[in-house]
Amino acid sequence: MEDLDKLKILIVDDETDVLKVLKERLEVAGMKRIATAQSREKAEKKTREEHFDVIIADMYMEEENSGYLLTERFSDLSPLVIVITGYKNEREFRKFLADSLRAGAYACVDKTEEDACDQVVRAIQEGIKGLKSKNVHVHRDSKYISDNFNELVKQYPGQYVAVLDERVVGVGTDYDELAREMVDTYPFVRITIASVPGEERRVG
């Protein structure tokens, strides 16, 4: 599938073996930009530092509700969240599935199943087809530009800025060139690009 190698993925699980096996399987499927974290705290730190198109998170880690907290938070940060669990009981798994979907997950996978890694790959391949059509970031990033207008004018007068996840991820003097660069770097999301006026247009 086109652009899979540009997909930025974060896998969150407190089991080292799970991280290793799943990362290797995703790499075989053509996904190369993969980061890992072994706790909710470390995962949240990574998401503050960079954008991820897909986040795969274990439901239960250092805290009983770690996965739910991650799912709720990540569904606002990343358009595609896949949760995994080691539930043995079918009734419990059904409840887990319903709760995860309500929290914003795109798909849920039982990692005890033999083809669990393949299920995750299929979920990613299907899920990314609709990523660009979602406007998860647009309102928040537009508000970031409005709230930080003076600071942007001070730092980037007379330039265009590209904003994603409330961070400036690109700057340039030519809109089309910057737009092409952002599409190449972040092919699965819409980037908010704004024109920053010169210093004379600062407010206040």
Q: What is the pLDDT of residues 87-127, one digit of tens each?
A: 666 777 677 777 777 777 888 888 888 899 999 999 998 88
Q: Are residues 12 and 94 in the same domain?
A: yes
Domain end position, chosen among 89, 107, 130: 130
Q: What percent of the chain has pLDDT over 70?
A: 79
Q: Can you name the residues that pair with 34 across neighbouring β-strands?
A: 9
Provide the pLDDT confidence category of residue 173 given band limits of 50, 70 and 90.
very high
What was the pLDDT predicted at 200? 53
The rounded mean pLDDT for the chain is 82
- Which candidate, 127, 120, 45, 33, places its Cα nearest to that of 80? 127
Greater pLDDT, 1 or 73: 73
Only one residue has tokens 């406007």, namely: 135
Residue 74 and residue 51 in contact, taking contact as beta carbons nearer than 8 Å: no
CATH number of the CATH domain containing 75? 3.40.50.2300
Provide the residue range defining the domain that includes 12: 4-130
Greater pLDDT, 37 or 128: 37
Sheet hosting strand 192-195, strand order edge to edge:
167-172, 160-164, 192-195
- Judge whether residue 184 has pLDDT over 90: no
Radius of gyration of the chain (CA): 19
What was the pLDDT predicted at 111? 83
Provide the pLDDT confidence category of residue 131 given band limits of 50, 70 and 90.
low
Q: What percent of the chain has pLDDT over 90?
A: 34
- Judge whether residue 20 has pLDDT over 90: yes
Provide the pLDDT confidence category of residue 39 given band limits of 50, 70 and 90.
confident
Q: Are residues 13 and 75 in the same domain?
A: yes
Q: Are residues 78 and 118 in the same domain?
A: yes
Domain end position, chosen among 130, 147, 170: 130
Q: Which residues contact 143 (CB under 8 A, 6 or more apart)?
A: none
Q: What is the 3-state secondary structure (H, E, C) of 152-186?
A: HHHHCCCCEEEEECCEEEEEECCHHHHHHHHHHHC
- What tokens does 119 get? 């299920």
Average pLDDT of span 59-78:
65
What was the pLDDT predicted at 203? 46
Q: Are residues 81 and 41 in the same domain?
A: yes
- Judge whether residue 64 has pLDDT over 90: no
Q: Are residues 18 and 96 in the same domain?
A: yes
What was the pLDDT predicted at 11? 94
What was the pLDDT predicted at 88? 61
- Tally of structural domains, the chain: 2
What was the pLDDT predicted at 185? 84
